[in-house]
Amino acid sequence: MTEKVTIADVARLAGVSRQTVSNALNTPDVVREETRQRVLEAVERLGYRVNQAARQMRTGRSRLIAIRIEPDRDGINGSVLDRFLHGLTDSAARSGYRVLLYTADGDRGEIDTIEDLLGAYEPDAFVLTSTHHDDLRTSWLRERKVPFVTFGRPWGDLDGAGHPWVDVNGAAGTAAATRHLLAAGHRRIGFLGWPPGSGVGDDRREGWARTLAAAGIDPGGLSRATSDGVADGEAAAHDLLGPGGSGVTALVCVSDSLALGALHAARSPGLAWRAGGSADRPVAVIGFDDTPVAKAVGLTSVSQPLAEAAAGCVALLARLLDGPAPAPDDPPAHELLDPSLVVRQSA
């Protein structure tokens, strides 16, 4: 460990008081320019760094942002959160914040952990992911006026504009995917989604349906809903592409897991090559999230701008924490980002 350098050491070397050192660093406009220079030089020479714990005691600010790290459920889509996490750590550092991790089970468990953290480490803010309908966490945090941002829009109506959020426009992503397929000449474009009720899934389905309708195609009967898993996707795709099928020649999927399953189904001998009509034109498949798996198997996929989303979260938090107090009737800010389509061999 290096010997500790305190503000008093700097003050002594610069020939000023502790408070002047503090001012030179935190409120430069109240010190004479020449004094400021002298202080900065002393800071440099001693390698002084402000002690967060002491500062936190006085100011009540920890300059910590806490976020939950989830176990990667099926393993495929887990990587989305991790890329977001990396972006968050990076952006936070640029704004002078650090990222603190925690784990928890379920909404209730997360609330308990948050309460613990607030008492002990006093993070300045939280970033919540995986928002859903009737999210206990957001209401709990709002009640206690704890600053937070969600990555994922508030899906309940009541919540409306209750807190700042950043999200990716899933509908725009599936719409772009659908347009891409239309441009390639496909007409009967199917959709593999999740059961209705999940905000994210419904949003993505809607982008596909809307785009088909705009092209004069009835999306009716062209979609299937299933839980998220490769096997589930394969089964649903079989159903959609199979004999009694709908003549579907391309599939937009709500996730890379389902898309991968669809890809398996589409390439199973004797089915897919026929479904699309010709052997040199297999069923096209597009996934969502542009996970490593998509890259590895050549799956065209909708890519979320995760670094930008993370930067957006930090920006909103910084405004909340370091900016001027917002007007009482000012609605919380939010940001909706457009994803992009990464085209590979599968479509």
Partner DNA sequence: TTCCTTTACTTGAACGATCTAATCATGCCT
Partner DNA sequence: AGGCATGATTAGATCGTTCAAGTAAAGGAA
Coil, helix or strand for 197? coil
The count of chain residues that interact with DNA, using the rule CB under 7 A, is 30
β-pairing, 165-168 with 223-225?
unpaired
Q: Does 293 bind a second copy (CB under 8 A)?
A: yes
Q: Which of 37, 54, 106, 185 binds DNA (CB under 7 A)?
A: 54
Q: Which of 53, 158, 183, 279 binds a second copy (CB under 8 A)?
A: 53
Nearer residue to DNA within complex by CB, 54 or 214? 54
Ranges assigned E (strand) in the chain: 64-68, 98-102, 125-129, 148-151, 165-168, 189-193, 223-225, 250-253, 284-288, 300-303, 334-337, 340-342
Which residue is it, tokens 């897991």? 257
Tell me which residue of 323, 341, 200, 337 sits closest to 284, measured CA to CA: 341
- Residues numbered 111 to 140 that lie near a second copy (CB under 8 A) are 116-122
Least Cβ distance, residue 249 to a second copy (angstroms) = 24
Judged by beta carbon, residue 37 or residue 51, the one nearer a second copy is 51
Interaction partner, residue 134 (DNA, a second copy, none; CB < 5-8 Å by kind): none
The CB-of-145 to DNA minimum distance in angstroms stands at: 17
Q: Which of 1, 12, 25, 242 binds DNA (CB under 7 A)?
A: 25
Identify the sign of the CA torsion 195, 198, 202, 205.
Answer: negative
Q: Indicate whether 235 belongs to the interface with a second copy (CB under 8 A).
A: no
How far apart CA 278 and CA 121 sit, in angstroms, is: 62
Axis-axis angle for helices 306-322, 78-94 (nearest 10): 40
80 touches a second copy by CB under 8 A: no
Count helices and strands in the chain by DSSP H and E runs: 14, 12
> By C-beta, is 35 or 89 nearer to a second copy?
89
Place of tokens 């719409």: 175
- Residues within the interface to DNA (CB under 7 A): 4-8, 15-23, 25-26, 30-32, 34-35, 48-51, 54-55, 57-59
- Residues within the interface to a second copy (CB under 8 A): 1-2, 5, 47-54, 56-57, 62, 64, 69-72, 74-76, 78-79, 82-83, 85-86, 89-90, 93, 98-103, 116-122, 144-146, 230, 257, 260, 291-293, 295-297
